[in-house]
């Protein structure tokens, strides 16, 4: 009897958080050169009906000698261990060399589902990258600090093939929780322009 073999979906070892914390620890001054490899379509957020997601995969173009990563088991899933302090399950971590890519899953607020338009708030983790891309294509002023509305095709067009130096910054929500943000920059003769 012929059967279809089920493919094992491999979890990502390098996540946006492990990538950004690695930059912050070991590449704070220089950053890491990356290029946009893929931009996914909008997809609904399972936890919040007002938010949708966009996945952006970056190719890591620099040699990255150290990068934090989750350990992936033979089953393609993240290996979990018990946190000795809290007793909670958490991913087992390791330091790897030369990761090839990292995917960022950004939340956006949907404005018009039919037109696939969404808004980007200046405090959103996607704002620095999306703003940088639209500034590079001339769609937004170079000094823009305000939120904006765009559609997924405009975003894909602005991000397609763009390369930059990735840096990391920690931002905080008004409630005190913090999150890592990808900060794109262009290196010019040892000077950085943000």
pLDDT tens, 47-98? 887 789 999 999 999 999 999 999 999 999 999 999 888 899 999 999 999 9
Domain membership of residue 7 (yes or no) is no
Query: Residue 193: its pLDDT value, please?
Result: 42
Domain membership of residue 11 (yes or no) is no
Residue 189 has pLDDT above 50, yes or no: no
Does residue 9 sit within a domain?
Answer: no
| Residue 34 near residue 58, CB atoms below 8 Å | yes
Distance CA 90, CA 81 (A): 6
- CB environment 106-124: b (16+ within 10 A), e (fewer): bbbbbeeeeebbbebeeeb
Confidence of residue 187 (pLDDT cuts 50, 70, 90): low
Instruction: Please report whether residue 52 resides in a domain.
Output: yes
Domain residues for the domain of 83 are 16-193
Structural domain total, the chain: 1
pLDDT band, very low/low/confident/very high, at 180 (cuts 50, 70, 90)? very high
Neighbours of 47 (CB within 10 A): 7
Strand partners, 83: none
pLDDT for 173 beyond 50? yes
22 in a domain, yes or no? yes
Q: What integer is the mean pLDDT of 142-169? A: 96
8 confidence band (pLDDT: 50, 70, 90): low
């Amino acid at each position: 009897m012929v059967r279809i073999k089920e493919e094992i979906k491999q979890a990502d070892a390098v996540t946006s958080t492990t990538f950004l914390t690695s930059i912050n620890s070991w590449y704070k001054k220089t950053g890491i050169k990356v290029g946009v490899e893929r931009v996914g379509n909008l997809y609904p957020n399972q936890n919040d009906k007002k938010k949708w997601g966009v996945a952006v995969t970056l190719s890591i173009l620099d040699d990255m000698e150290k990068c934090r990563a989750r350990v992936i088991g033979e089953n393609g899933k993240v290996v979990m261990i018990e946190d000795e302090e809290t007793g909670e399950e958490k991913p087992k971590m390791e330091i790897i060399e030369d990761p090839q890519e990292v995917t960022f899953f950004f939340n956006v607020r949907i404005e018009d589902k039919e037109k696939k338009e969404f808004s980007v708030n200046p405090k959103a983790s996607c704002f620095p990258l999306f703003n940088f891309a639209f500034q590079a294509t001339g769609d937004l002023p170079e000094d823009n600090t305000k939120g904006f509305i765009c559609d997924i095709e405009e975003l894909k067009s602005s991000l397609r093939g763009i390369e930059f130096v990735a840096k990391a910054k920690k931002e905080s929500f008004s409630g005190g929780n913090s999150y890592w943000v990808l900060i794109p920059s262009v290196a010019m003769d040892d000077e950085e322009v943000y």
